[in-house]
Amino acid sequence: MLNEIQADAKSRMQKSIDNLETNFAKIRTGRAHPSILDSVTVEYYGSQVPISQVANINVEDARTLTVQPWEQPMVAVVEKAIMISDLGVNPVTNGNTMRIPMPALTEERRRDLTKVARQEAENARIAIRNVRRDANNDVKELLKEKDVTEDDARRAEDSIQKLTDDAVKKADAMLAEKEASLMEV
């Protein structure tokens, strides 16, 4: 019983860390990276799909992405989708290939993005602590029903706290790394 609670807590905490990683990937640094376009979708044969499923996305240099749709009619559709996205970039189309120059970030914008990153990290820490609370409540419920001894319950709570501390450390390390990459000129 206690092992199941701990395993569930560990997997839920890992999901919070994975979600934080996904959210950090959406925060744009000054460098070009194909994952920047992950949130942009286009209409393709009646359904919304990510651009990566209808085109090749490559990094040309540190500040430029190239997008090459697989079908000629998709060039205009992909270009329009990128323009109306909230990424703040404008593609330059040359035949079948689009070049997307990444504008340099201003100091003020870097600070704003750092605040967003801190908020995402705080949300992840809150989610991790909520998982800890749920797991501890489950352990207390087992103790109340006398399914486990007090010593076992205490050990389980200590183990859950260790999992929580490890997950929060990971989140903090990821935040420090993201802040460093955002403030890098």
The 10s digit of each residue's pLDDT in 14-44 is: 999 999 988 887 776 667 778 778 778 888 8
Inter-residue contact 102 to 30 (CB < 8 Å): yes
Q: With both helix axes pointing from N to C terminus, report the angle between 150-183 and 2-26 in degrees, rounded to the nearest 10.
A: 10
Per-residue pLDDT tens for 89-110? Answer: 788 888 888 888 887 777 888 8
Per-residue pLDDT tens for 131-147? Answer: 999 999 999 999 899 88
Residue 126, amino acid: I
pLDDT of residue 140: 92
Residues 6+ apart with CB under 8 A from 170: 17
**Spatial separation of the C-alpha atoms in residues 79 and 147, rounded to whole Å:** 61
pLDDT of residue 160: 93
Is a pLDDT exceeding 70 seen at residue 79?
A: yes
Confidence of residue 185 (pLDDT cuts 50, 70, 90): low
Report the percentage of the chain scoring pLDDT > 70: 97
Confidence of residue 166 (pLDDT cuts 50, 70, 90): very high
What is the chain's mean pLDDT, rounded? 87
Integer-rounded Cα radius of gyration of the chain: 22
pLDDT of residue 41: 86
Structural domains in the chain, CATH included, are 2-26+106-183 (1.10.132.20), 34-101 (3.30.1360.40)
Inter-residue contact 136 to 157 (CB < 8 Å): yes
**Spatial separation of the C-alpha atoms in residues 86 and 103, rounded to whole Å:** 14
pLDDT of residue 30: 67
pLDDT of residue 127: 95
Q: Dihedrals φ, ψ of 182, to 5°?
A: -70, -40
**Spatial separation of the C-alpha atoms in residues 101 and 91, rounded to whole Å:** 7
Across the range 117-123, mean pLDDT stands at 92
